Structure 1
């Protein structure tokens, strides 16, 4: 069975369709979306419905978690809802929300010795002790080992991940496609006018399609 890991879609449903075609996706293939299915792009509802209807698997990203908090009435006090998040709240159905709420923070795939997560894992920390804020937002590890959400704070976390599981993630559009010995980063900035990228196992091949246009500035 082929497994297609797909980077941050961010509501870019047309590009998702194009990427599935480029990968020669068939109904028997397993598809794993690495989070941030929604927000910023033009058709968040379309992305969620495609995932639901085709039985795709997915992990929750920081934007997915954000809109779920608003939908559930748990947004932080004083926070204003951005237009790109309002569009998600206005277009998803009850069935869409129910599907989103069931998304895990990470997904293990023992048959591939792989794990999907949106942003990353802190090296040296057991999986059960990983903090959700870093599962959703991690980018870098400082020289003293401190994890950070900031790009400039240190080395890409994936470069320090020693396995044994291969971790496939998204989130870091600024660094773009990342290939480390035990970690693969797939956010190639589709919603910002870049590309939507898939990594397919067991063949170990990357597929990308260009964005139709830039929907937001990076």
Structure 2
């Protein structure tokens, strides 16, 4: 029996040995793989930072493209377009869009100067000067301007450019404590000044001084020149910086107002070089709209001064600054589309009538008068909108409706009370010339009138002032005063318009 048991054990011994070896190999393989996995985790795991948070990506020095800026706040929506306003970015460089004239400078019935001399207080509002200092001095002399006597000078913009002494005009205005508004020429010069400070000219390092801009160092770029620069500006022929159009052309009186930078800004940079830092700062602070307010017992209700114009039905603080400095006319896209549609309908009806007629020569072109008459007929019958809600788009060209006509119509038809109407004094339109109400007595003026004072001084015509006087007897009256201008760009504008 023992022999049998020993034989059984001997038969099972190889099997047990195989099992032991297999177990050992399995354990070894398991252990090796576990160690490899742990090593791999240690090798690839990033080291934690001091605060046990994963490291953050450093801020990029280069701006990401817009589509990747998911963390940037969305841009504030622009104001939607309404009657006469444009959905455009704001003027970031404008410090002053709307300003109020101090009330102590506004003539009111019974007001006299502070010296007690009984002299009437006056506002002297002058049209576009364009560097014509001598003409401005003669105009002020003609009206007997005395600041110490209660007079206050206001200029309707475009004090500078085109004429011989831009720096002299600004110096005179500042010395008299004058008010003014920013015109399109001031705006261009301010933009040129900014470009001269910030623009890097190819081939320079940004610190090359006046020569980098093609201006002599003697003229002291950025307004450091003082008298020398002013003299250089005064002696330089007007044609040196801008080429004049052919005499007699329809655009010569305001050729620089259209597409102002199409000819380059070298002339504007020359004006910058003639101005001191204080003068440049004074120009940059000018408002686009100067609100004078209502002069009691007079038709000068809610009086404002602008350079170019305003869109009817829009509050002063909501006017588009570009339009106020540049506009001349208003265009109505809706009206134009309706006119075109009615014209096509009339032409189609005319063709059908000719086809039915025995006379093939009876057809004639549809005139603008026919289109207007048809539109008027349809409006009376309620078949067409009356157009009162059309959007007006201000433009600097002349192919629309004169903005002053639209202004008068709006004041007359949409503003029922005289005291709510807005009176506007403006300049900018040398070709149209002096445009004031055809009455010489203040008590005959209609509230909400417009006064256009650009009478083309720089083109050898006239410099004009609107003088508003408050007498000690409680009366308000106005007068228009002119002087003849010499030494400008005589012959370059349309002649014969006063």
User: Which one is further off, 60-69 or 142-151?
Assistant: 142-151
Match of 1:124 among 293, 309, 313: 313
Match of 2:283 among 100, 106, 115: 100
Q: How many residues align?
A: 216
Q: Does the CA contact (< 8 Å) of 1:194 and 1:214 recur in 2?
A: no
Q: Which residue of 1 aligns with 2:185?
A: 63
Q: How does 1:8-19 map to 2 (within 5 A)?
A: 8-19=128-139
Report how far residue 79 of structure 1 moved. Answer: 6.9
Report how far residue 25 of structure 1 moved. Answer: 0.7
Q: Which residue of 1 aligns with 2:406?
A: 160
Deviations 1:145-187 (A, max 9, x none): 3322112x23321222227121000000111011255110000
Q: Of Structure 1 and Structure 2, which has the larger fraction of its residues in strand? A: 1
Structure 1 residue ranges, 4+ long, deviating more than 6 angstroms after superposition = 74-79
Q: Which residue of 1 aligns with 2:144?
A: 24
Distance (whole Å) between structure 1 residues aligned to residue 166 and residue 294 of structure 2: 30
Mapped pair 1:110 → 2:288:
no
Q: Secondary structure at the match of 1:206?
A: strand
Assess, with a 3 A threshold, how the Cα gap between structure 1 residues 53 and 149 changes in structure 2: closer, same or farther: same
Q: Which residue of 1 aligns with 2:458?
A: 191
Q: Which residue of 2 aligns with 1:208?
A: 482
Distance (whole Å) between structure 1 residues aligned to residue 294 and residue 313 of structure 2: 23
TM-score (norm 2): 0.41
Mapped pair 1:52 → 2:174:
yes
Q: Of Structure 1 and Structure 2, which has the larger fraction of its residues in helix? A: 2
TM-score (norm 1): 0.91
For structure 2, which runs of at least 5 residues remain unmatched after alignment?
A: 1-120, 200-259, 296-301, 336-391, 412-419, 438-445, 470-476, 494-498
Q: Which residue of 1 aligns with 2:394?
A: 147
Q: Does the CA contact (< 8 Å) of 1:122 and 1:130 recur in 2?
A: yes
Assess, with a 3 A threshold, how the Cα gap between structure 1 residues 146 and 111 changes in structure 2: closer, same or farther: closer
Q: Does the CA contact (< 8 Å) of 2:123 and 2:152 recur in 1?
A: yes
Distance (whole Å) between structure 1 residues aligned to residue 406 and residue 478 of structure 2: 21
Distance (whole Å) between structure 1 residues aligned to residue 193 and residue 421 of structure 2: 37
Mapped pair 1:138 → 2:327:
yes
Distance (whole Å) between structure 1 residues aligned to residue 458 and residue 262 of structure 2: 27
In terms of Rg, which structure is larger? 2
Q: Secondary structure at the match of 1:184?
A: strand
Q: Secondary structure at the match of 2:144?
A: coil
For structure 1, which runs of at least 5 residues remain unmatched after alignment?
A: none
Deviations 1:103-132 (A, max 9, x none): 000100014331000000011222222111
